[in-house]
Amino acid sequence: MLTSVRPADVIFEINLSAIQPNFHTISALVGPQVRVAAVVKCDAYGLGLLRVAGALIDAGCDLLFVGNLHEALLLRSSHTGAAVAVLCDEFARYGGDYRSNGLIPVVNNCFELDAIGTAGDPQAYFLSIETRLSRLSLAFDDLRRKYLSGSFKQHPPSVVLSHLACSERVGDAMNMLQRNRFLAMSDVLKPTLRSLAASAGFWLGTPYHFDIARVGSALYGLNNAGIRPNPLKPVASRRAKTLDVRKVARRKAVGYGGTFRTAQASRIASVGIGYKHGLPWGRANKVSVRLAGYSAPLIGRMSMEYTTIDITDVPEALCGPGSCVELLGEDLTVDDLAAASGIYPQEVLTRLGVGCARQMRVLATIRAPSLAGAKRPDCRVSR
């Protein structure tokens, strides 16, 4: 019989105390007239929905966007007091759950819009409109038809939103094109509030901020727009233990396929982490990790549960079996890892918590600075 549990060899740590200043940084950038909503879909990008949402609410966030009804009900079951909007709404099927839990559907098509119109009691909703992303939103022809039929006069949306396709590229003409389309379409509806910018979009400046900024990846330290110096704090770190250290002669292959061969007599450490733990397979031979303050290149082809690093330049006394290797942190961020692997930072982040222990770190609760006297847009839902 198993009587004890072996301590985790791989630790994925989430610094909740870094998420809060990131929220304040974004709030200061857009100003008190703009409401900063947190996107916590996909288990808060793999970081833990309930704990991350709690940290954001403590920081002053009062509007959360989730990916589906399941996540919304999890938040409500934890007595989350913030307004909760559901991006993949399914109001037509689960309208009773929305009404009883005070949830806000984000309507993306005519079928869901019709369900809002036949719901009986007035139902607050957000409307997503198509401005050139071609994804989950009401197209112009459908918008015009519904407008002419009087649907929006009877059941107006409280927020009209859209999503920028190229906001990571500041000079891309698509940004202005989408903004102009958004203005033209939303002006017809005359909503109470408008929202266009997401994490990279708020860096485009005031013309893109409107009333609500929907921020996800930036809260978690991702700098998709490549702003330098980066004002965002890294949130995720990852450590793993060395399992084996051995001497390898010059010109010997390391790992599957012999993709790496030693240039000199070397010391090679096997680390208990691989692509099973969400580590991108394509990062091998491209980045270095940290061990006892020293840089150690990640070499050879990565395995499912193991990877190898060259510790020739690390003092032997510091890198025996059981020593701790930092594979993500201040020196190697999620953005760095994504760039080295040729994949999207959000993909890296959402995969990181797979197959390993997740630890939360909280240094202190950081409250939002006072905005006394400032006017804030309001899209609260009566419950």
Residue numbers annotated as active site: 41, 256
295 bridge partner residues: 290
In this structure, which long-range contacts are made by residues 66-75, counting pairs with CB atoms below 8 Å and at least 24 apart in sequence? 66/40, 66/41, 67/41, 67/42, 68/41, 69/94, 69/97, 69/98, 69/103, 71/40, 71/41, 71/43, 72/101, 72/103, 73/97, 73/101, 74/49, 74/50, 75/49, 75/50
Of 2, 75, 55, 42, the residue nearest 363 (C-alpha): 55
Sequence ranges of the binding site: 135, 304
CA–CA distance, 114 with 96 (Å, rounded to integer) = 15
Annotated binding site for substrate: 135, 304
Cα–Cα distance for residue pair 299/341, rounded to 1 Å: 14
Distance CA 208, CA 23 (A): 18
Strands (E), 275-318: 288-291, 294-299, 307-310
Distance CA 205, CA 224 (A): 15
Tokens, residue 18: 């870094």
In terms of Cβ atoms closer than 10 Å to its own Cβ (0-12, 13-18, 19+), residue 165 is middle
Q: How far is CA 6 from the centre of its chain?
A: 31
Structure-token match 């989950």, residue found: 136
